[in-house]
Chains A and B, each alone.
Chain A
Amino acid sequence: MKQERRSIAWLQAGPMMLVFALFFLLPLALVTIVSAWDYNEYEMIPAFSLRGYTDTFEGCIAGLPDLCTILKTYLKTVKLCLLTWGLTLLIGFTVAYFLAFHVRSKTWQIVLSLLCTIPFWTSNVIRMIAWIPLLGRNGLVNRGLEGAGLITQPVEWLLFSEFSVVLALVHLFTFFMVVPIFNSMIRIDKRLIEAAYDAGATGWQTLVNVIIPLAKPGIVIGSIFVVTIVMGDFVTIGVMGGQQIASAGKIIESRLSALQFPAAAANAVILLGVTILIISSLTRIVDIRKEL
């Protein structure tokens, strides 16, 4: 009987396992293997070579003290990542806090959460394009500023710049902060907050000493989402940066379009290493599985 139940569980979980094995685990293994293959202009050569890696770091030592391209690119990616992380955390936390503690009726809580979720179910590309009529040279913002007499010629850095990239990233991905933080917050026992209030804590003290520590799991999960998405992003940075800004993800994309699979794979391994480093330091703080 026990044996039979176990095999039923296997039959139920098997199909999903198979999909992940075929389209996630095996591809990941192949990326790792091929990153140590040789290649020439038009094909990969199944022979051990670290060319993918050495090409990537070309000139990094010879060029010192100037930073080489790859390091500069990673620095820029990390900078965009940190900016986006800080902003999404601030906005996401505030929105989640409002929904969890200030909206009192369950129905309103659901309606307002849905309002935050619906854009997530619509197209990212469209949500990026949507900024063009606002931020472009003749866009609403420039027109408005000119009309108000604040500027005499259009501000150029509004669109196709790091500014617009971060703006779009925040616009697209604050959702990933709101949901887990809200989820942590609604589990906080309201009596704890009353107890803090009764003990004479100010609103700020309650926030810092009670709510933030208890919402930490949500904050960490949201941070993992945002960090991994931005570190590997090439679509948003491409579209909103006018294809002019380099990023860790874009390096992989351009290597791929040149059909240099081993070089692309080597870059993917490096990106993966950096991402795992960030995530493992974040997960040390919480156990994800307990939080569902």
Chain B
Amino acid sequence: MGEKRSRSFYVLAAFFIAYVLFLYGPMFAIYILSFQGPDGGLTFPMNGVSLTWFGKVFSGSGIVDIGAAFKRSLKLGLLVMVLTVVLSVAAGMAFRRSFSGATVLFYTAIASLIMPSIITSLGIALEFRLLDDFMIKHGGAWAEGWTTAMGLFTSGLGAHLTWTLPFGLLIMFAIFNRFDGRLEEAARDLGATPWQTFRHVVLPIILPSVVGIGLFGFTLSWDELARSSQAIGSVNTLPLELQGLTTTVTKPDIYALGTLTSGVSFLVIFSALIVILVLQARQRRHGSDAGKGMV
């Protein structure tokens, strides 16, 4: 290694650059177009530069109540993030020992990950529909005035978790495949309780990856569409509103909304990446001095 770059390197590098342009180019096109002037349309050229369309989004004129959808998605995303982190770390720890049901849980998670979203969504919708029917018919006085149990934080939350939890679990698997179990043994030998071992030995080591799980949890929920589509009840999340707008809106306000939504995504992504970098740097500083000789 270290010899001169071959010709295939340059060909492949050009291919890679083309791929990155393909990935980002269209996105940047709409970020630019969202600053379209008041008389501008959905395509280039830019007809002046203005914040008109952002103003339209914030004032809510023209399109449905985006502010409310924005807040709903944010709340749901944060809840999904917290649950994904807690449930994945807990389950990941369980997989370090063998327990009956481990194989079932693993394959269930994989199945949930690759199940066509429309089927999961339909199933959850059906489940809640049957529950509602049952409550209305047989609930008696207790269920008086029952309309539906479907909603953002019931069926919607469940639908999102079927998508985020498998990612969380897979990340935990990846972490523990590279984890040195002797560290835990050492902690135990020194008399640490299981909780102390987790809190002071395991957690600090896996923390950067746990932040990564949180990143997946929030962003996947924030942008989730297919699984929520049938299972969200009467109020929509932001991506669902956006999808609805694609067929009706003919003005750049949809781009402005897209830019804002992506803004949140990028804010979360970069904050998470910075936190991960800081944590890793800290780990290196406070890490082992093994092999560095006597000081």
Taking a contact as CB atoms closer than 8 A, the residue among B20, B42, B109, B216 that contacts A20 in the complex is B109
**Distance between A208 CB and nearest chain B CB, rounded to angstroms:** 15
B13 interface residue per 8 A CB criterion: yes
Contact between A232 and B91 (Cβ–Cβ < 8 Å)? no
A188 interface residue per 8 A CB criterion: no
- Chain B residue at minimal CB-CB distance from A32: B123
CB-CB nearest 5 A-B residue pairs:
A232-B116, A27-B123, A23-B158, A130-B26, A12-B94
B52 interface residue per 8 A CB criterion: no
Taking a contact as CB atoms closer than 8 A, the residue among A20, A102, A171, A225 that contacts B105 in the complex is A20
**Distance between B263 CB and nearest chain A CB, rounded to angstroms:** 10
**Distance between B81 CB and nearest chain A CB, rounded to angstroms:** 12
Question: Please, which residues of chain B bring their CB within 8 A of the CB of A261?
Answer: 126, 129
Contact between B12 and A126 (Cβ–Cβ < 8 Å)? no
Tally of A interface residues using CB under 8 Å: 84
Question: Please, which residues of chain B bring their CB within 8 A of the CB of A94?
Answer: 12, 15-16, 19
Contact between B119 and A16 (Cβ–Cβ < 8 Å)? no
Taking a contact as CB atoms closer than 8 A, the residue among A104, A112, A235 that contacts B229 in the complex is A235
**Distance between A33 CB and nearest chain B CB, rounded to angstroms:** 9
Tell me which of A55-63, A65-73, A210-218, A249-257 binds B: A249-257
Q: In the complex, A194 Cα to B33 Cα: how many Å? A: 50
A149 interface residue per 8 A CB criterion: no
Q: Which of A110-163 contact B (CB under 8 A)?
A: 112, 114-116, 118-119, 121-134, 136, 138-140, 143
Taking a contact as CB atoms closer than 8 A, the residue among A34, A123, A265, A279 that contacts B114 in the complex is A279
**Distance between B11 CB and nearest chain A CB, rounded to angstroms:** 9
Contact between A27 and B120 (Cβ–Cβ < 8 Å)? yes
Chain B binding site: helix, strand, loop or mixed by DSSP? helix
Tell me which of B55-63, B139-147, B202-210, B238-246 binds A: B238-246
A sample of 6 more A-B contacts (CB under 8 A), given A125-B243, A134-B29, is A13-B102, A102-B12, A122-B223, A139-B43, A234-B226, A292-B174
Question: Please, which residues of chain A bring their CB within 8 A of the CB of B242?
Answer: 123, 125-126, 129
Contact between A10 and B90 (Cβ–Cβ < 8 Å)? no
Question: Please, which residues of chain A bring their CB within 8 A of the CB of B22?
Answer: 171
Contact between A123 and B261 (Cβ–Cβ < 8 Å)? yes
Question: Please, which residues of chain B bring their CB within 8 A of the CB of A131?
Answer: 26
Question: Please, which residues of chain B bring their CB within 8 A of the CB of A200?
Answer: none
Given contacts A126-B242, A231-B116, whether A24 and B162 have CB atoms under 8 Å apart is yes
**Distance between A86 CB and nearest chain B CB, rounded to angstroms:** 16
Question: Please, which residues of chain B bring their CB within 8 A of the CB of A98?
Answer: 12-13, 15-16
B159 interface residue per 8 A CB criterion: yes
B235 interface residue per 8 A CB criterion: no
**Distance between A85 CB and nearest chain B CB, rounded to angstroms:** 14
- Chain B residue at minimal CB-CB distance from A27: B123
A91 interface residue per 8 A CB criterion: yes
Question: Please, which residues of chain B bring their CB within 8 A of the CB of A20?
Answer: 105, 108-109, 112, 162, 165
**Distance between B112 CB and nearest chain A CB, rounded to angstroms:** 5
Question: Please, which residues of chain B bring their CB within 8 A of the CB of A106?
Answer: none
Task: Specify which of B100, B126, B242 lies most central, judged by the most chain A CB atoms within 10 Å of its CB.
Answer: B126
Question: Please, which residues of chain A bring their CB within 8 A of the CB of B266?
Answer: 118, 122
B95 interface residue per 8 A CB criterion: yes
- Chain B residue at minimal CB-CB distance from A133: B43
Q: In the complex, A134 Cα to B33 Cα: how many Å? A: 11
- Chain B residue at minimal CB-CB distance from A240: B246
Contact between A256 and B125 (Cβ–Cβ < 8 Å)? yes
A28 interface residue per 8 A CB criterion: yes
Given contacts A20-B109, A27-B126, whether A249 and B118 have CB atoms under 8 Å apart is yes
B232 interface residue per 8 A CB criterion: no
Q: In the complex, A249 Cα to B23 Cα: how many Å? A: 25
Given contacts A12-B94, A249-B118, whether A31 and B123 have CB atoms under 8 Å apart is yes
**Distance between B23 CB and nearest chain A CB, rounded to angstroms:** 5
5 contacts between A and B (CB under 8 A): A10-B101, A20-B112, A27-B120, A31-B122, A122-B223
Contact between A289 and B106 (Cβ–Cβ < 8 Å)? yes
**Distance between A30 CB and nearest chain B CB, rounded to angstroms:** 5
Taking a contact as CB atoms closer than 8 A, the residue among B114, B215, B230 that contacts A228 in the complex is B114
Question: Please, which residues of chain B bring their CB within 8 A of the CB of A284?
Answer: none
Given contacts A6-B99, A20-B105, A23-B158, whether A121 and B88 have CB atoms under 8 Å apart is no
- Chain A residue at minimal CB-CB distance from B243: A125
Q: In the complex, A232 Cα to B155 Cα: how many Å? A: 20
Taking a contact as CB atoms closer than 8 A, the residue among A15, A31, A124 that contacts B126 in the complex is A31
A243 interface residue per 8 A CB criterion: yes
Interface string of B225-265 (1 = CB under 8 A from A): 11001100000000100110011000000110010011001
Q: In the complex, A19 Cα to B112 Cα: how many Å? A: 11
Contact between B90 and A16 (Cβ–Cβ < 8 Å)? yes
Given contacts A23-B158, A27-B126, A98-B13, whether A271 and B116 have CB atoms under 8 Å apart is yes
B69 interface residue per 8 A CB criterion: no
